[in-house]
Structure 1
Amino acid sequence: MKRVLVATGGGDCPGLNAVIRAIVKRAEQERDWEVIGSIESFNGILREPTEIRVLDERSVAGIHVQGGTIIGSTNKGGPFAWPIKKTDGTWDYVDRSDEMIRKLQYLGVDAVISIGGDGSQKISQALYEKGLNIIGVPKTIDNDLSATDFTFGFQTAVQIATDAVDKLVTTAASHNRVLVLEVMGRFAGWIALHAAIGGGAEVCLIPEIPYDLNVVLERLKSRYSRGKGNAIVVVAEGAKSKDGDVVAEESSEVGYKNVRLGGIAHKISYDLKKAGFEADMRETVLGHLQRGGIPSAYDRILAAQFGVKAFEMVLEGRFGEMVAYRHPDIISVPLTDAIGKPNFVDPSCDLVRTARGLGISFGD
């Protein structure tokens, strides 16, 4: 019996369970393959005792409609930076990648499928360079991997953000307010851009187009006459002004390497009021609401395609590669291509031009 290990790393994302289910259902057709899952990415392999579970058709039945991941996820530590608490109470990080590979060999694992975003796939590439038979599956609500047209989870996040805009429109109109909606995306503005167009926002602020506060101020003032009016501002968490910085702070969480973004919505409101904007303003931060819940039909289908393709790549021995969507095909690309260049919004792309054509201001 051959074994393939599945791991889900990074932030949770709608559609992870649909990928796991697709891998298992495709593997069941081969008769001589067993699928096991590592709990919380590779942590399940590195821990003592080992935390893994067998994944069969019974354990994955119906999970494609569930959010999250049945084998857990983590965005802290990892095989190359495992946190160790020292005697003085401080933390250090050690490389346990060789130990993990030996343990996988001991467990009889013939191949690994790593489902994750940019950080997870960098780990995948490093493990492949050490000789591990590994295949990547792209996952991120931010849609910031350039090797694939879309990542599963993104469309669900966009729908949640757009629903939020729809709801905020009515309360903004009822109170003659400006409502500022902060959405996720880190340094990519795709969620904000799609939600602004889909929801009909007046202003959209994204990391790729630094904004001028005075331009935003004048646009919002134009929405008011004799004190009456309303407007919706959609802002990506990584947005910044032309003369400012991203609103972020270093994380105090052990093993978490990224800065924690958030707070730009409140900063915009504060800056606008300081600049003389008199209308009422309120802020809404969607936060992790965008990561949870039932995946959309689009994301379930894309995730299923990715899962089936990933296992077929195992059968073909296409290690060191990642599944990707290039309309209309599901293909594979080298992991080096997948992590080589982020997928940021091009300020001159068609979607930005569409938004401008609808009268949406980017504050530039």
Structure 2
Amino acid sequence: MKRIGVLTSGGDSPGMNAAIRAVVRKAIYHNLEVYGIYYGYQGLISGQIEKMELGSVGDIIHRGGTKLYTARCEEFKTLEGQKKGIEQLKKFGIDALVVIGGDGSFQGAKKLTEHGFPTIGVPGTIDNDIPGTDFTIGFDTALNTVIDAVDKIRDTATSHERTYVVEVMGRDAGDLALWAGLAGGAETIMIPEVDENMDEIIKRLKRGHDRGKKHSIILVAEGVGSGVDIGREIEEKTELETRVTVLGHIQRGGSPTGRDRVLASRLGAKAVELLLAGEAGLMVGIEKNNLVYHEISDALKKKPSLDQEMYQLSKELSI
């Protein structure tokens, strides 16, 4: 193996740059050439590829987003698109590829491996929804962004004695809402993994109001539904003044936390080690602070699991 490529795909997440840096510098340390592929699989198909040096990844470890940019690519889901991508890899003499992204990115990595092109996946998504790893790159930074926002919203909720519904990202996974809700002291956490009874939430809010509680924070994962609709229903049924905040893409940006920088550095370097060892079709992850790897195909078959103990604790502490 002489040359490897690296790309980022799907939604960006803080720490992707740290992972790119680790891949590039680990590879160069082992006398490999590294090529950056811009705009994910779309850039792979169109040949937006250039050689990277040590200086190419200087001063990026602390930056959010991704130096290689990212895009979603419907064409790469087709056999023709995949063949075009492999042709470009061969054209540049690239022997193996590191893909940084979420489950959609991993689907592409799996296809490349099935076509005989060695690929390793690095989990980068704020949603923390990839089985086979306790944490994904970007989750911790997004979590702290949400916590900071909830703390500020609680200040104004207290001042105006209002109920606030805060909608957070996470697609079909509730980790971001659950962790932020527990850390931020939310009175109610609504996540897609648990079928919350709206009538019970209304009763809980009324009970709190009757005992003198002046404000509440309700965290809603986007996979549950619209925070705006939920806020409207709560106000209608409780007659409590209710406001809604949709945090949106602010959760994806910002300088990565120390935890995300270290995680990205470890996972990016591990991906290169696996390629050097002749491995392919794997994803790297972290479990109980130990680096691990699994077959990408196995990870894609599973669903991310919810920490039931943490969810129960959030219920007990919000009485």
Please classify the TM superposition score into its range, dividing by the shorter chain length.
Answer: over 0.9
Partner of 2:35: 36
**Deviation of residue 227 (structure 1)?**
8.3
**Distance in 2 separating the partners of 1:278 and 1:136:** 49
Give the corresponding residue for 2:204.
Answer: 219
Task: Evaluate the alpha carbon distance shift between residue 228 and residue 354 of structure 1 in structure 2; reply closer, same or farther with a 3 A threshold.
Answer: closer
2:315 pairs with 1:356: yes
Q: Structure 1 residues 319-328 or 2-11, which shifts more?
A: 319-328
Q: What's the offset of the Cα at 1:225?
A: 4.6
- Whether the 8 Å CA contact 1:176–1:229 is kept in 2: the answer is yes
Q: Distance in 1 between matches of 2:279 and 2:99?
A: 14
Aligned to 2:245: 284
In structure 2, what residue type is equivalent to 1:279? Answer: L
What runs of 5+ residues in structure 1 fail to find an aligned partner?
A: 82-93, 240-246, 248-263
- The superposition leaves residues 114-139 of structure 1 with CA deviations (integer Å, 9 ceiling, x where unpaired) of 11111110111111111111111111
2:232 is the counterpart of 1:270: yes
TM-superposition CA deviations, 1:250-282 (whole Å, max 9, x none): xxxxxxxxxxxxxx111111212332x212111
Task: Tell me which residue corresponds to 1:11.
Answer: 11
Please name the residue that 1:45 is paired with: 44
Greater Cα offset, 53-62 or 295-304: 53-62
Asked if 1:69 corresponds to 2:31, the answer is no
Q: Shift of the alpha carbon at 1:54?
A: 2.0
Aligned residues of 2:41 and 2:72 also touching (Cα < 8 A): no
The residue aligned with 2:165 is 180
Following TM superposition, where does structure 1 have runs of at least 4 consecutive aligned residues deviating by more than 4 angstroms? Answer: 225-228
Partners in 2 of 1:355 and 1:196 — Cα distance?
A: 8
Query: Within 1, Cα distance between the matches of 2:77 and 2:96?
Result: 19
Give 1:211 shift. 1.7
Q: What amino acid does structure 1 have at the position aligned with 2:281?
A: G
Residues 1-364 of structure 1 mapped to structure 2, 5 A cutoff:
2-31=2-31, 33-47=32-46, 50-81=47-78, 95-225=80-210, 229-239=214-224, 247=225, 264-275=226-237, 277-345=238-306, 349-359=308-318
TM superposition shift of 1:78: 4.2
1:294 Cα deviation from its structure 2 partner: 0.5
Stretch deviating more after TM superposition (290-299 or 52-61): 52-61
> Residues 103-161 of structure 1: CA distance to partner in whole angstroms, max 9, x if unpaired?
21121001111111111101111111111111111111111111111111111111111
Contact 1:172 1:178 in 2 (8 A): yes
1:12-43 Cα distance to aligned partner (Å, 9 max, x none): 00000000001111112122x11111111122
Shift of 1:329: 1.3
Secondary structure of the corresponding residue to residue 229 of structure 1: coil
1:55 is matched by which residue type in structure 2?
M
Letter in 2 for 1:271: E
Look up the equivalent residue of 2:21 and give its one-letter code. Answer: R
List runs of 5+ in structure 2 lacking aligned partners: none
1:54 and 1:211 map into 2 onto residues whose CA distance is: 51
Instruction: Report which of the two has the higher share of helix.
Output: 2
Provide the C-alpha distance between the structure 2 equivalents of 1:334 and 1:135, rounded to a whole number of angstroms: 9
Identity %, equivalent residues? 41
Matched residues in 1 for 2:269 and 2:75: separation? 26
How far has the Cα of 1:326 moved from its partner? Answer: 1.6
Q: Please give the secondary structure, in 1, of the residue aligned with 2:120.
A: strand
The alpha carbon displacement at 1:353 in A equals: 2.1
CA displacement 1:181-235 (0-9 Å, x = unmatched): 0000111110001111100111111111112221111111223259871110011
Deviations 1:29-72 (A, max 9, x none): 122x111111111222212xx31122221111120100000111
2:16 alignment partner AA? L
User: 2:211, 2:277 → 1: CA distance?
Assistant: 68
Distance 1:228 1:345, change over 3 A: closer
Q: Is the 8 A contact 2:235 2:241 kept in 1?
A: no
CA RMSD of aligned residues (A): 1.6
Distance in 2 separating the partners of 1:58 and 1:152: 23
The more displaced of 133-142 and 8-17 is 133-142
Q: Contact 1:12–1:73 (CA<8 Å) still a contact in 2?
A: yes
Q: How many residue pairs are counted as aligned between the two chains?
A: 319
